């Protein structure tokens, strides 16, 4: 299990559904039966003060070197240029996506071995993109189970709210622990990015902390330009060297059918209290590092592609283009030969990071350099 690469070790259902609310739309009744808990929600015990002082409460942390999944790199890979000037490092706070799939409870216990193993695999292919510029902190948290995204039951939202309280506790510890002048990078995917949107609203917006954020990578979760961004405390990253800003994208091959996603999205309320209906999604082009643009495949510096036994991955340059459409979804051309785990409608949610791994790595290095040069 430990040798398996990324999140390709699980079945298609596990892979493509973990951590995204939109998937309730595909076979809704079947998915509810298969994944939604049939138990009552039980409020979680509040974590003890300073529980995150324990290194075992982190999947990745600076002093954790042996077996740290966030330190993974593709076989034979090395950075050709210095990551940042003078060796100065950022502190990277990364929130992993859903890896708990059981239906016997609404939130994952911290001692659940299967979900923890999957979370470590996620970090290898996602958080690793940031390890050139800083020390990665990735907390363990009592995440909401997959079924919380597949139901209208109030217990689903209660589970998400409970998970968010753990993330807040971890973030507060993180901020208190790192040097008061150290630059910060925030990142997540899917359920992790959902929590990150709230964290930006609750802990960054309107505070001095916003001035320390190099960038926030809110990947694999919809962010409304009109109703969410103004409440999240950072500008949109409109240029590749811009700092103190946020990036977000959701990947689709073509022809893309995201009509069901839009249907659900249009029923939600934004952070400013206004309906998100018909509002544009924030769409960063991870190849260019700007918004609402197009890039040819030759500009893609490297996509992570697994080997046959899924134990490792190699970087393939120039394989996937990217362009933002008018609605705010990221289109990647014809379906790429990267693996079989795409959702209906050519939704490549699972591959949001791996499609652009090298460009994300270059993007964060570029922004960190610009931040230090201010």
Task: For the chain of 374 residues, list the mean pLDDT of each consecutive stretch of 10.
Answer: 32 39 45 73 87 96 94 86 75 95 88 92 94 97 88 89 96 97 97 97 98 98 97 98 98 93 91 96 98 97 79 88 97 88 85 96 96 92
Distance CA 7, CA 4 (A): 8
H or E stretch at 366: helix 357-372
Q: What pTM was computed for the model?
A: 0.91
Q: What's the maximum distance between 2 C-alpha atoms anywhere in the chain? A: 55
Domains of the chain, by residue range, sit at: 12-372
User: Which DSSP state fits 328?
Assistant: S
Closest by CA to 320, choosing from 305, 341, 340, is: 305
| Cα-to-chain-centroid distance, residue 72 | 17
**What is the Cα–Cα distance from 163 to 98, expressed in whole angstroms?**
11
d(CA 342, CA 125): 17
46 CB neighbour count, 10 Å cutoff: 11
The answer to whether 253 and 334 have CB atoms below 8 angstroms apart is yes
Do residues 355 and 303 make contact, with C-beta atoms less than 8 angstroms apart?
Answer: yes
């Amino acid at each position: 299990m430990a040798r398996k690469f990324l999140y390709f070790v699980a079945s298609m259902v596990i892979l493509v559904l973990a951590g995204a609310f939109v998937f309730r739309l595909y076979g809704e009744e079947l998915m509810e039966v298969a994944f939604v808990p049939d138990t009552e929600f039980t409020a979680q015990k509040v974590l003890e003060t300073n529980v995150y002082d324990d290194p075992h409460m982190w999947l990745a942390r600076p002093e954790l070197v042996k077996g740290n999944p966030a330190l993974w790199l593709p076989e034979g890979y090395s950075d050709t240029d210095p990551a940042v000037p003078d060796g100065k490092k950022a502190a990277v706070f990364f929130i992993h996506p859903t890896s708990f799939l059981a239906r016997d409870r609404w939130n994952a216990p911290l001692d659940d071995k299967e979900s923890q193993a999957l979370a470590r695999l996620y970090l290898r292919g996602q958080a690793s993109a940031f390890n050139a510029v800083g020390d990665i902190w990735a907390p363990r948290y009592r995440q909401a189970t997959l079924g919380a995204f597949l139901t209208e039951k109030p217990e689903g939202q209660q589970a998400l709210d409970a998970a968010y309280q753990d993330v807040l506790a971890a973030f507060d510890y993180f901020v208190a622990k790192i040097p008061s002048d150290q630059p910060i990078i925030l990142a997540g995917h899917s359920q992790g990015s959902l929590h990150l949107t709230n964290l930006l609203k609750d802990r960054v917006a309107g505070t001095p902390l916003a001035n320390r954020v190099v960038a926030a990578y809110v990947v694999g979760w919809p962010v409304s330009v009109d109703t969410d961004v103004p409440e999240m405390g950072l500008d949109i990253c409109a240029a590749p060297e811009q700092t103190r800003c946020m990036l977000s994208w959701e990947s689709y091959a073509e022809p893309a059918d995201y009509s069901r996603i839009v249907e659900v999205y249009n029923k939600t309320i934004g952070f400013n209290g206004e309906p998100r209906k018909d509002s544009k999604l924030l769409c960063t082009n991870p190849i260019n590092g700007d918004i609402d643009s197009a890039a040819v495949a030759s500009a893609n510096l490297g996509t992570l592609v697994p080997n046959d036994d899924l134990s490792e991955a190699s970087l393939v340059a120039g394989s996937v283009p990217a362009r933002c459409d008018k609605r705010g979804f990221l289109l990647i051309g014809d379906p790429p030969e990267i693996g079989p785990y795409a959702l209906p409608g050519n939704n490549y949610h699972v591959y949001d990071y791996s499609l652009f791994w090298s460009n994300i790595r270059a993007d964060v290095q570029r922004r960190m350099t610009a931040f230090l040069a201010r």
